[in-house]
């Protein structure tokens, strides 16, 4: 494993802001909810030094779980998962959505001997992590930890393991039917990679 490193949440937040990855406006999240803010990890991960820094900090928190692989959902989790696997010195595997269902493709496999860290860039509802967890369980692999750069759920996710993150922040969300941004006439944008719910 790479040398362990720690980073303060305030430093993570500043990196997001300085790279333009903390967006303000009117966004439709992959959950279908609306929010005035969005964490666009693709913008911060344009800079490999940030991805490496985040991964080493997460690896320091996760090394004791002794994983054999990091398993991530496409698209948002791939870069983070790869960097985290590199920092932990283990395999990197990802699942992608085919006809709306997370699937292992491109010759990637899980086995009963695998000890997995499930990894995302940002967790809001935990939907993608739950989907790849189902794949892991189906394969007989053991899920030893769950991780993300940013936990923006406010602790409201319902995951089977505690979520290890570097930055926790509860961002405001609205039901689309009661969204004050919509009521004001603001146009909503959909910045995420997953088809929205509903």
Q: Rounded to whole angstroms, how far apart are CA atoms 123 and 119?
A: 9
Q: Which residues of the chain have a pLDDT value below 70?
A: 1-4, 192-198
pTM: 0.84
Taking the alpha carbons of 33, 35, 37, 43 in that order, is the dihedral positive or negative? positive
Pick the closest to residue 86 from 53, 46, 120 (CA basis). Answer: 53
Output helix, strand, coil percentages for the chain, rounded to the nearest 5: 30, 30, 40
pLDDT at 158: 78
Could you tell me the CA-to-CA distances from 90 to 123, 157, 167 in Å, in that order?
A: 23, 27, 24
Q: Domain 48-170 carries which CATH code?
A: 3.40.50.2020
Within 46-189, residue ranges assigned H as helices are 48-62, 77-88, 127-139, 180-183
Specify whether the CB–CB gap between 62 and 164 falls below 8 A. Answer: yes
Q: Rounded to whole angstroms, how far apart are CA atoms 16 and 14?
A: 5
Structure token pair of residue 174 = 């609205």
Q: Rounded to whole angstroms, how far apart are CA atoms 51 and 59?
A: 12
pLDDT at 153: 81
| Residue 109 CB neighbour total at 10 angstroms | 9
pLDDT at 30: 75
- The ranges assigned to domains in the chain are 48-170
pLDDT at 192: 65
Structure token pair of residue 70 = 């990091």
pLDDT at 198: 42
H or E element that contains 9: helix 9-18
């Amino acid at each position: 494993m790479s040398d362990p490193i720690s980073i303060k949440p305030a430093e993570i937040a500043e990196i997001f802001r300085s790279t333009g990855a903390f967006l303000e406006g009117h966004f439709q999240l992959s959950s279908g909810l609306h929010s005035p803010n969005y964490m666009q990890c693709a913008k911060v991960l344009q800079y490999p030094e940030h991805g490496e820094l985040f991964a080493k900090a997460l690896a320091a928190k996760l090394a004791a779980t002794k994983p054999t692989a990091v398993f991530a959902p496409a698209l948002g989790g791939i870069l983070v998962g790869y960097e985290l696997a590199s920092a932990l010195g283990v395999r990197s595997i990802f699942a992608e959505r085919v006809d709306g269902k997370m699937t292992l493709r491109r010759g990637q496999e899980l086995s009963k001997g695998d000890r997995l860290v499930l990894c995302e860039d940002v967790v809001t509802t935990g939907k993608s992590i739950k989907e790849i967890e189902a794949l892991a369980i189906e394969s007989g692999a053991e899920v030893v930890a769950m991780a993300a750069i940013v936990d923006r759920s406010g602790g409201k996710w319902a995951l089977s393991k505690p979520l290890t993150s570097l930055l926790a922040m509860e961002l405001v969300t609205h039901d689309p039917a009661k969204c004050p941004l919509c009521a004001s006439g603001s146009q909503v944008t959909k910045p995420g990679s997953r088809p929205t719910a509903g």
